[in-house]
């Protein structure tokens, strides 16, 4: 099935937490090397405690398992003095450490993988995964192509991120912080700390991707399960013009909050300008709300709108 994401390919579905750049002191490096040799880390990022990359985060020594492909990408992207060889692997410093720590923080705390590991064995299995926040929602519609007479998914916007997962992992499947970190690093194609919908789906040059029904554990054959990713399509109808306009405003607000004013297109700026005028809020006030992290409180007005969306079409995607 063709999935046209022209309208939503640049919208973020996940982003790293900002971690201040820090250069390891001689004492910190000595302490980190000692913990590496002892393989003694308070936070378990995989069950085997098999780590090859190490860094400092919030006064903690962290060990993770990063695959060779992602590690080489990091080494090509950051300066060579950001990497210190160790007999167990690689110690990250400066910008590289800040970058990986940012994704680690997003996974462990914002997505809640650390706390969801209830038995603290280093991996999430079964119901533990229900307590993570790894879902995002895409507004879309299914239409029939007049030429091919085949169904196509037409994406409109990403309207929700970091939503509760609410489902258990199937028997025999597991997730851990190291595995999730590798997924995030792989999806962040340009290593800018933001995963867009297009990056996540691997869109081609025409802003379309092709997805086909695979081994499906649902009675709905339009649900695709592939490599741990679940694409769930439900209650899909055509959006009304007014609903699309509101969705675009919500998406622009989310983009403003997560990526800043400079990231907005002229159309998105116009949407927010009209939005601000309608609510009698100046552009400066809107920027102030974002700067002071008060935008979430401000957009409580969307609750009624979100309620109206309960019978509309959503594609929930769980990482």
Residue at 235 is within a domain? yes
Residue 194 and residue 161: Cα distance in Å, rounded?
A: 13
Show the tokens assigned to 185.
Answer: 């690093």
Is residue 111 located within the same domain as residue 138? no
Residue at 180 is within a domain? no
pTM of the model: 0.72
Is residue 151 located within the same domain as residue 106? no
Residue at 183 is within a domain? no
Is residue 3 located within the same domain as residue 38? no
Q: Which of 104, 123, 142 is the last residue of a domain?
A: 123
Answer for the pair 231, 210: CB distance below 8 angstroms, yes or no: no
**Is the four-CA dihedral 132, 111, 307, 234 of positive or negative sign?**
negative
Q: Which domain holds residue 104?
A: 26-123
For the chain, the domain total comes to 2
How many residues can be counted in the chain?
A: 319
Residue at 178 is within a domain? no
Q: What is the mean pLDDT of the chain?
A: 77
Is residue 84 located within the same domain as residue 231? no
Q: What are phi and psi of 243, to 5 degrees?
A: -65, -40
pLDDT-derived band at 300 (thresholds 50, 70, 90) equals very low
For 90-121, what is each residue's pLDDT tens digit? Answer: 999 999 999 999 999 999 999 999 999 999 99
Would the pLDDT of 245 be above 70?
no
């Amino acid at each position: 099935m063709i999935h046209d994401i022209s309208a939503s390919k640049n919208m973020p579905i996940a982003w790293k937490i900002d971690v201040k750049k820090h250069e390891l002191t001689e004492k910190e490096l000595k302490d980190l090397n000692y913990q590496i040799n002892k393989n003694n880390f308070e936070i378990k990022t995989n069950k085997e405690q098999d780590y090859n990359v190490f860094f400092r985060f919030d006064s903690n020594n962290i060990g993770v398992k990063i695959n060779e492909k992602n590690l080489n990408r990091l080494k090509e992207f950051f300066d060579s003095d950001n990497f210190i060889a160790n007999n167990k692997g690689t110690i990250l410093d400066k910008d590289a450490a800040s970058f990986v720590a940012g994704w680690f923080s997003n996974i462990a705390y914002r997505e809640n993988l650390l706390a969801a590991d209830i038995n603290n064995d280093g991996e999430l299995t079964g119901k533990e995964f229900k307590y993570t926040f790894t879902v995002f929602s895409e507004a879309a519609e299914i239409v029939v192509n007049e030429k091919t007479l085949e169904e196509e998914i037409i994406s409109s916007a990403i309207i929700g991120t970091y939503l509760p997962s609410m489902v258990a992992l199937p028997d025999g499947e597991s997730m851990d912080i190291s595995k999730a970190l590798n997924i995030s690093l792989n999806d962040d194609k340009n290593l800018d700390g933001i995963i867009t919908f297009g990056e996540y789906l691997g869109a081609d040059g025409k802003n379309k991707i092709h997805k086909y029904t695979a081994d499906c554990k649902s009675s709905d054959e339009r649900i695709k399960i592939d490599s741990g990713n679940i694409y769930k399509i439900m209650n899909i109808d055509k959006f009304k013009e007014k609903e699309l306009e509101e969705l675009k405003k919500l998406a622009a607000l989310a983009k403003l909050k997560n990526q800043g004013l400079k990231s907005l297109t002229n159309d998105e700026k116009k949407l927010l300008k009209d939005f601000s005028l309608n609510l009698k809020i100046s552009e400066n006030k809107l920027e102030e709300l974002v700067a002071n992290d008060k935008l979430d409180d401000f957009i409580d007005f969307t609750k009624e709108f979100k309620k109206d969306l309960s019978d509309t079409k959503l594609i929930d995607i769980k990482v």
